[in-house]
Structure 1
Amino acid sequence: MSAQELDDNSLIDTWALVRNLFSREEYHLQQIARLERSLANAGHRNHQDRTAYNSLYQHYESLYQAYTDLQAEHQRLKKELATLQHQYCHKQDQSSDVQSAQAGELEQTPRTVH
């Protein structure tokens, strides 16, 4: 091979390498652009997910507060009912004692015949 042929082959190889480098650089730039779009989409989805989570958490908090309030009201009503039942039973006992006493007094009083 002559020096001219070596130089021609070197030029061809150099241009092939330069084209290959540009091609690879273009491919990498496309990949970077694709990754940037994916990252932007993921950031948007992440924002939507956080917004949805915050909304659900606030809804949960309000439901939990309502549940806590209902539970407290339920306990209050149970105590009130127990008090009323106790008072009713106490009155029933007093009433039956009074009736028994009245019945006993009636039996002890002599009957007069007219």
Structure 2
Amino acid sequence: MVAPSAGGSTTQHAVTIHLQYGSTNLSELYALEDRLEQIISATGTGELHRHEIAMDGSNGFLYLYEPNADALVEAIRPILEGCQFMGGAEVKKRYGTPGAKESSEKLAKK
């Protein structure tokens, strides 16, 4: 999702979540994605782009995009914090195109 900034250019923030999944059964991941898409749609805060999971199911990434990374993370935080396998996940926010300022945080372990 791309939106014009005050200067007339477009910006795209990114949120990348590195998680420790621990299973080759992806049903819980798909259920999480469904919940994320519902809240993102209801709040208009971005889009869930895709996921990547290791072949052995050990870990993976979720990729989300939005003009305001902070708003996106705050919208999805309750869902992430309520999901057992998201404990300890690293949430990285990038405030623009690749090379822009970044920040990251770890979700509390369950």
Fold shared by both chains (TM-score > 0.5):
no
**TM-score normalised to structure 1 length:** 0.19
Q: Which has the higher contact order (CA 8 A, sep 6+)?
A: 2
**TM-score normalised to structure 2 length:** 0.19
Higher Rg: 1
Which structure has more strand as a fraction of its residues?
2
